[in-house]
Amino acid sequence: MSEIALPAVVAERQAGRAHALGRFRANDRLFAGLTRGAAILVLVLLGGVMVALLVGAWPALSAFKLGFLTSQIWNPVTNRYGALAAIYGTLVTSAIAMIIGIPVSIGIAVFLTELCPAWLRRPIGIAVELLAGIPSIIYGIWGLFVFAPFVQAHIQPAIIAAFADVPVLSALFAGPPYGIGVLTAGFILAIMVLPFITAVTRDVFETVPVVLKESAYGLGCTTWEVVRRVVLPYTRVGVVGGVMLGLGRALGETMAVTFVIGNAHHISPSLFAPGTTISASIANEFTEAVGDLYTSSLIALGLVLFVITFIVLAAARLLLLRAEARAGG
């Protein structure tokens, strides 16, 4: 009986197993397909945005050619448009935001992971995360009604007076103190990018093996030396990633900047003067833009921002690759 039954059972079991394996394979394939689809979707979307921007920007680009990038004339009356003032404003405000934001963010992250007493860690961490959740329009309104008057009354007069006789700085910080302007926009952006950079850097700082840090401390390193020689080199890639995330937000931020930058299509040597950014110009002018060339120029601005973001990201990658090659790893 058993001699007869056994092969049948085995065959049945094998069939069952084959069936199950087949199902697993099908599931795997489905899963792989879905994830691949998601990844391809991103590429398609990106390509679609790029094509749409190119098509929309074409009338402006063919009318102004390279002059679109080198002229700071932005005149809806005569229908002549140049992006230079907006590009300048975008880069300068983002640079100010990074100059202030990166050291403060890394400082917060170092404090939270290395120095902070355990009971304070969660409240500060949550506060930083809450900062990330505030809508940008709130930053804008706060910037216009609270921060700008403060800057106008207390910070700008002091800076103007302090640097009045210093050759370069006096031009960089020339009055009149409006309160709103390129520098104020940079400040607001710095506050807005803080939580992004802080959250990422804190998370990567926590991945540093304790044994590495303990060894360094054991050799007599100070906390500064541990951070400088162990933590930062170990987490380089992650930190740069966090900074890029922040920079991306700073470059593209619209609402908050629109409120406090002064929205003037001029390039002024003074950081206190009003300026504009690419995204602020688009947000301000798109609804009431009459005429194809005007609309197209605004879309071309969008294309320029797209390209700037791409260049910045590519440059960051390159920097990282070179740093890694130098570090031998």
Partner 1 sequence: MLNLAAAGLAVAANTAGSGAQTISGAGSTFVNPVLSKWAQAYRQETGVAINYQSIGSGGGIKQITAGTVTFGASDMPLKHADLEEAGLIQFPLINGASVPVVNLPGIAAGGLTLDGPTLAKIYLGTIAKWNDPAIQALNPSAKLPATAIAVVHRSDGSGTTFIWTDYLSKVSPEWKDQVGESTAVQWPVGIGAKGNEGVAGTVGQTAGAIGYVEYAYAKQNKLAYVRMKNSEGKVVSPTAASFQSAAAGAQWDKAQDYYVILTNAPGAESWPIAGSTFVLMHAKPSDPKASVTALRFFAWGYSKGKQAAANLDYVPMPDSVVKGIEAMWAARITDPAGKPLYTAMK
Note the residues at the interface with partner 1 (CB under 8 A): 73-78, 144-145, 148-149, 152, 176, 178-181, 258-259, 262-265, 274, 276, 280, 284-291, 294-295
Least Cβ distance, residue 193 to partner 1 (angstroms): 22
Nearest by Cα to 321 from 240, 253, 250, 260:
240
Least Cβ distance, residue 314 to partner 1 (angstroms): 32
Tell me the C-alpha distance between 183 and 250, whole Å. Answer: 13
Nearest by Cα to 297 from 13, 42, 85, 36:
85
Nearer to partner 1 by Cβ, of 170 and 309: the residue is 170
Tell me the C-alpha distance between 25 and 31, whole Å. Answer: 10
Tell me the C-alpha distance between 31 and 225, whole Å. Answer: 46
Nearer to partner 1 by Cβ, of 82 and 242: the residue is 82
Note whether 160 and 150 are within 8 A (CB): no
Nearer to partner 1 by Cβ, of 180 and 230: the residue is 180
Least Cβ distance, residue 273 to partner 1 (angstroms): 9
Tell me the C-alpha distance between 294 and 90, whole Å. Answer: 20
Nearer to partner 1 by Cβ, of 211 and 290: the residue is 290
Least Cβ distance, residue 298 to partner 1 (angstroms): 10
Nearer to partner 1 by Cβ, of 86 and 244: the residue is 86
DSSP annotation of 74 reads: E
Q: Does residue 271 sit in helix, strand or coil?
A: coil
Least Cβ distance, residue 284 to partner 1 (angstroms): 4
